[in-house]
Amino acid sequence: MSVQNLLARLEYVKQSSSDQWRCKCPCDHKTPSQMTVKELPDGRVLIHCFAGHSPTEILESIDMSLADLFEERIEDRIRPLYMARQEKRQQDTVIDKVKSCQLKLDMAQEMRDRGIKLTDADLTTERNAFIKMKHMQGI
């Protein structure tokens, strides 16, 4: 929704800056109170009544809803961020697994370099780390 659609339903609208307007609150029929309408750079529209009427009350009085103040649904804006974070967490998990496997392989090699005999458990740990590394690298 454009801010102009909202302003067209309000009375006594006066522009106070390039992105902000003052007008009469449509909820207040007895004593006219002031409210402001502001359009944000991303297209969202904010409204504030100085008499304390909520945005929901104001919009309902002119047959609109809060959803009308947004160009797109908030879920549509958040979803790409959520997906990017989820993908980052998955990448971090893979990186952590690779580092863990590499550490186990490095420890086994260090033990060999120092002349320490690896136990069966050490060899199994090394083998499992090697297999996981190959699997994660797609080899």
Token pair listed for 96: 């952590």
Q: Are the beta carbons of 35 and 62 closer than 8 angstroms? A: no
| Residue 97 CA from chain centroid, whole number | 27
What are the structural domain ranges in the chain?
3-69, 74-137
Q: Which pTM does this prediction carry?
A: 0.49
pLDDT digits (tens, 9 = 90+) for 46-83: 899 998 999 999 999 999 888 777 665 666 667 788 88
pLDDT digits (tens, 9 = 90+) for 24-35: 999 877 776 789
Token pair listed for 46: 């904010």
pLDDT digits (tens, 9 = 90+) for 79-125: 788 888 889 999 999 899 999 999 999 999 999 999 999 999 999 99
CA distance 136 to 92: 13
Contacts of 101 (CB under 8 A, 6+ apart): 129, 130, 132, 133, 136
What is the reported pLDDT for 76?
A: 67
